[in-house]
Amino acid sequence: MSLHHPYDPDNIFARILRGEIPAVKVWEDDHVLAFMDVFPQSEGHVLVISKTSTAQSLLEIEPDALVRLTAAVQRTARAVEKALQPEGFQIVQLNGAAAAQTVFHLHFHVVPRWADRGLKGHGHTPMAETDALRALADRIAAALD
């Protein structure tokens, strides 16, 4: 599959945005949504998406939406750092199936890292318990500036 194909309005994140399937939300405004990754690679793994753009990859997103989205990634990362105090964090953004993108609605991963904790492999993690994700989301939300 190439990088260029029609946006699927029934992709998982589009369905989350429409409220058709549940998600553990951290914060949102009219433009962006930050929510817990249900297959977390580390404790506190958050996804950040645009509500207004149907870009599938970084190539397609409108500049204004990208500015809002990257600002939201920084706001989320700051809250993750304050709440969970990781020793580092990764911002990951995959483009195309060949790069291991699995959901074709552009998203940024905020993945906290600790030197003594390994990272679970992308696509090889068990589904997290909703209650545990909610507790983490509440801690991160409480640390938002």
Active-site annotation, residues: 107
Closest CA to 35 of 114, 119, 116, 103: 103
Taking the C-alpha atoms of residue 2 and residue 31, their distance in angstroms, rounded to an integer, is 27
Least distance CB 119 / ligand DGP (angstroms)? 12
Quick check: 35 binds ligand DGP (CB under 6 A)?
Answer: yes
CA–CA dist 10, 129 (Å, integer) = 24
Nearest distance in Å: CB 71, ligand DGP: 20
**Nearest CB to ligand DGP, comparing residues 32 and 145:** 32
Query: In angstroms, what is the minimal distance from the CB of 23 to ligand DGP?
Result: 5
x/- track of binding to ligand DGP for residues 37-66 (CB under 6 A): xxx---------------------------
User: 140 with 84: CB under 8 angstroms?
Assistant: yes
State the Cα–Cα distance between residues 21 and 37, nearest whole angstrom.
Answer: 14
